[in-house]
Amino acid sequence: MLKNSTKSYGWATICMHWLQAVTILFMFGLGLYMVDLTYYDPWYRGSLELHKSIGIMLMVLWAAMLLWRFANTNPKPEPGPAWEQLAAKAMHWVLYLTIGSLLISGYLISTADGRSIAVFDLFQVPALPALIENQETVVGEIHEILAWSLIGLVILHFAAAMKHHFLNKDNVLRRMIRPLGQSR
């Protein structure tokens, strides 16, 4: 079952979700590690190039997840109070929005000096003309705030998943681990 059903996520969403989750956590760790390196550290350039390349790949994954989301059914919320269902929906959209803004801000920092981004030496993503003065510094601050906000949201999101699984004992987490069968 590749596509979602009204009961469960399908393999496409499940694989993209966990790939995105692991990559974002890795990128956060890499970002924290990078900012402590000095110019003379052998990994200074390499870690930055890796961060930028993965960032562009994440943009593709983010867009694919959104397109896939609009292209097929989504599982109905598990029984629960209306406010909780609304909060879960809002959280998913805030996650998408924060990830998108984080990725765009990363692109704007990297291309502020007019240089394109080399993605794993495979292809180049061209730069746009600078949009604001001091773009690298201003957007750099925004990028950092967004990264920490995303981690805060992910902690809340993780706590909600644990609550569903261990307290409510419903299928919310199970259906994001493997498809739970067809029901349209």
Sites of contact with ligand HEM (CB under 6 A):
17, 20-21, 24-25, 69, 74-75, 88, 92, 95-96, 99, 154, 157-158, 161, 172-173, 176
Taking residue 184's Cβ as centre, other Cβ atoms within 10 Å add up to 8
CB closer to ligand HEM, 66 vs 128: 66
- Measured CA to CA, the distance from residue 150 to residue 105 in angstroms comes to 13
Work out how close the CB of 144 gets to ligand HEM at its nearest, in angstroms, rounded to a whole number.
Answer: 17
Work out how close the CB of 17 gets to ligand HEM at its nearest, in angstroms, rounded to a whole number.
Answer: 5
- Measured CA to CA, the distance from residue 171 to residue 161 in angstroms comes to 10
CB closer to ligand HEM, 139 vs 172: 172
Work out how close the CB of 5 gets to ligand HEM at its nearest, in angstroms, rounded to a whole number.
Answer: 12
**Phi/psi at 96 (nearest 5 deg)?**
-60, -45
Work out how close the CB of 161 gets to ligand HEM at its nearest, in angstroms, rounded to a whole number.
Answer: 4
- Single-letter code of the amino acid located at 163: K
CB closer to ligand HEM, 24 vs 112: 24
- Measured CA to CA, the distance from residue 19 to residue 65 in angstroms comes to 11
CB closer to ligand HEM, 21 vs 104: 21
Closest C-alpha among 91, 27, 98, 14 to residue 58: 27
